[in-house]
Chains A and B, each alone.
Chain A
Amino acid sequence: MSLPRSELTKLRTAPGLVWCLVGAAAVMLGLPLLASAGNPGTYGRAAFVDEFRFVHQPLSGDGTLTARVRTPAGGHPWAMTGLMVKESATPGARYAAVLVTPGHGTRVQADFTVDIAGGEAASWLRLVRTGPTVTGYASTDGVAWQRVAEVPMAGMASTVEIGLFATSPAATRTVATRPVLVPTRPATAVFDSVSMAGPWTGTDVGIPGGPSTVESSGTFAVTAQPGDIIARADDGSRVVAATAGTFAGMLPLVALGALVMTAEYRRHLVRTTLAASPRRGPVLAAKALVTGGACFAAALVATAGALLLAQPLLRRSGYRPPTYPDPSLSDPRVLRVIAGTAAAAALVALLSLGLGTILRRGAAAITAVAAVLLVPAVMTPLLPAGAGRWVQRLSPVAGLSVQQVRETDDAFLLPWAGRPWTGLAVLAGYAVAALTAAYLLLRRRDA
Chain B
Amino acid sequence: MEPMGPIECQGLRKRYGWTLAVDGLTFTVAAGRVTGFVGPNGAGKSTTMRMILGLDRPDAGAALVGGRRYRELRAPLRHVGALLDAGSPDPGRRARDHLLWMAQSNGIPPARVDEVLGLVGLAAVARRRFGGFSLGMRQRLGIAAALLGDPPVLIFDEPVNGLDPEGVRWIRGLLRGLAAQGRTVFVSSHLLAELAGTADHLVVIGRGRLLADASVAALTSGGASLEDAYVALTGGSVEYTAGPA
Contact = CB atoms under 8 A, between A and B. Distances in A.
Partners in one complex: yes
Interface of A: 2-3, 5-7, 9-10, 13-16, 263, 267-269, 271-279, 444, 446-447
A276 B105 contact: yes
Interface stretch (B71-79, B182-190, B228-236): B71-79
B93 interface: yes
Residue among A2, A274, A275 with max Cβ neighbours from chain B (10 Å): A275
Contacts of A6: 101-102, 104-105
Given A267-B90, A268-B86, A446 B55 contact: yes
Contacts of A14: 90, 92-93
Given A10-B101, A278-B70, A2 B54 contact: no
Interface of B: 50, 53-57, 70-71, 73, 76-77, 80, 82, 84, 86-90, 92-94, 97-98, 100-102, 104-107, 145
Nearest to B77: A276
A7 B98 CA distance: 11
A240 B97 CA distance: 41
Given A446-B56, A447-B56, A276 B106 contact: yes
12 contacts: A2-B106, A2-B107, A6-B101, A9-B100, A13-B97, A13-B98, A269-B90, A275-B80, A277-B105, A446-B57, A447-B50, A447-B56
Nearest to B105: A6
Nearest to A282: B105
A7 B100 CA distance: 10
A184 B146 CA distance: 65
B90 A9 contact: no
B112 to A, nearest CB: 14
Q: In the complex, which of the residues A14, A272, A446, A447 has the most CB atoms of chain B within 10 Å of its own CB atom?
A: A272
Contacts of A15: 90, 92-93
Nearest to B129: A15
A14 B98 CA distance: 10
Contacts of B87: 267-269, 271-272
Given A2-B107, A276-B106, A267 B76 contact: no
A267 to B, nearest CB: 5
B90 A16 contact: yes
B102 A272 contact: yes
B88 A278 contact: no
Given A278-B73, A279-B71, A272 B84 contact: yes
Nearest to B90: A14
A274 B87 CA distance: 12
Nearest to B104: A6
Given A14-B92, A14-B93, A15-B92, A271 B104 contact: no
A275 B97 contact: no
Contacts of B70: 278
Contacts of B98: 13
Given A6-B104, A9-B101, A446-B55, A275 B82 contact: yes
A5 B104 contact: yes
A145 B207 CA distance: 93
A271 B90 contact: no
A272 B130 CA distance: 15
A-B CB proximity, top 4 nearest: A6-B105, A13-B97, A15-B92, A6-B104
A447 B46 CA distance: 12
B84 A268 contact: yes
Contacts of B102: 6, 272, 276
Contacts of B54: 274-275, 278
B184 to A, nearest CB: 16
Contacts of B104: 2, 5-6, 9
Contacts of A279: 71
Contact of B145 (A10, A268, A272, A447): A272
Contacts of A263: 90
A2 B86 CA distance: 26
A278 B56 CA distance: 11
